C-alpha cells in the first residue's frame, strides 16, 4: 500500500488542478517530507467519527478542535474566490492539519531549496504541515473534497502570504531544516 504520493512539480502554468509532474517524474519520499516537518497518516475515513486511531493522534498531538469543510462549487460560498485564496502561497503561525474524508486534493509545499513539492491527498489521508512552511492548497480535476480541519486549541484561520519571512515562526522553521543554508 502506498502511504502517500508526492513529487517535484514542473514549471507549467497550466490549470493548477493538474498533477504537474516533471518528465520524467521526480518522486519525493515520505522520509523527505518528514525532514521538512510534514507528517502523514493513512486512516479509515469511513469510521472517522469513532476511529480509535484518529482519537489517539488527536490526544497525542493535542488536536482539540475540529470542523468539516466541503470544497465544491455547490457547497462552498464564494467557491472561486476561496480556491484562489487557498492557492496563494502562504504560511501560518500554527500547524495546518487536514484529514481528507472524501474526494481528493493537493497540498504544495516548498523544500529547503525553494522547489515546489506536490502532495496528492485522497480519502483517508491526514497531513500536518508545520507552522512557518510556505504552502498552498488546490483541488484535483475532480473539483471536490471533504476535509476535517484540526487545531491545537481554538482555530486560527489567518494566513500570511509570501513574503512573510519576518515572522519568528518562519525563522524557527528554517533553522529546523536539516539542509544548511536553507531559504533566506
Region 121-131: what's the mean pLDDT?
A: 98
Q: pLDDT band for position 178 (50/70/90)?
A: confident
Region 13-27: what's the mean pLDDT?
A: 97
Residues within the annotated binding site for Fe(2+)? 90, 92, 96, 135
Is residue 2 over pLDDT 80? no
Q: What is the pLDDT of residue 157?
A: 82
What domains lie within the chain, and their CATH numbers?
Answer: 37-176 (2.60.120.10)
Per-residue pLDDT of 159-172, as tens digits, reads 999 999 999 999 99
Region 22-39: what's the mean pLDDT?
A: 97
Is residue 1 over pLDDT 70? no
Percentage of residues of the chain with pLDDT beyond 70: 96
Per-residue pLDDT of 55-106, as tens digits, reads 999 999 999 999 999 999 999 999 999 999 999 999 999 999 999 999 999 9
Spatial separation of the C-alpha atoms in residues 78 and 182, rounded to whole Å: 37
Spatial separation of the C-alpha atoms in residues 108 and 135, rounded to whole Å: 5
Spatial separation of the C-alpha atoms in residues 8 and 82, rounded to whole Å: 25
How many helices and strands in the chain, by DSSP H and E? 4, 10
Spatial separation of the C-alpha atoms in residues 9 and 145, rounded to whole Å: 21
Residues within the annotated binding site? 90, 92, 96, 135
Cell output for 125 = 489521508
Region 8-36: what's the mean pLDDT?
A: 97
Residues within the annotated binding site for Ni(2+)? 90, 92, 96, 135
Region 110-115: what's the mean pLDDT?
A: 96
Amino acid at each position: 500500500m502506498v502511504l502517500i504520493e508526492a513529487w517535484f512539480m514542473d514549471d507549467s502554468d497550466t490549470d493548477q488542478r493538474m498533477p504537474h509532474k516533471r518528465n520524467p517524474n521526480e518522486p519525493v519520499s515520505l522520509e523527505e517530507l518528514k525532514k521538512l516537518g510534514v507528517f502523514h497518516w493513512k486512516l479509515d475515513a469511513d469510521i472517522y467519527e469513532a476511529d480509535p486511531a484518529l482519537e489517539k493522534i488527536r490526544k497525542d498531538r493535542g488536536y482539540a478542535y475540529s470542523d468539516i469543510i466541503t470544497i465544491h462549487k455547490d457547497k462552498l460560498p464564494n467557491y472561486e474566490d476561496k480556491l484562489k485564496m487557498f492557492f496563494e502561497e502562504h504560511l501560518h503561525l500554527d500547524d495546518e492539519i487536514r484529514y481528507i474524508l472524501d474526494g481528493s486534493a493537493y497540498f504544495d509545499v516548498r523544500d529547503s531549496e525553494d522547489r515546489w513539492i506536490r502532495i496528492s491527498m485522497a480519502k483517508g489521508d491526514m497531513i500536518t504541515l508545520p507552522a512557518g512552511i510556505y504552502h498552498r492548497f488546490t483541488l484535483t480535476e475532480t473539483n471536490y473534497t471533504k476535509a476535517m480541519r484540526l487545531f491545537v486549541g481554538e482555530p486560527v484561520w489567518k494566513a500570511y502570504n509570501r513574503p512573510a519571512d519576518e515572522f519568528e515562526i518562519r525563522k524557527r522553521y528554517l533553522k529546523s531544516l536539516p539542509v544548511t543554508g536553507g531559504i533566506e
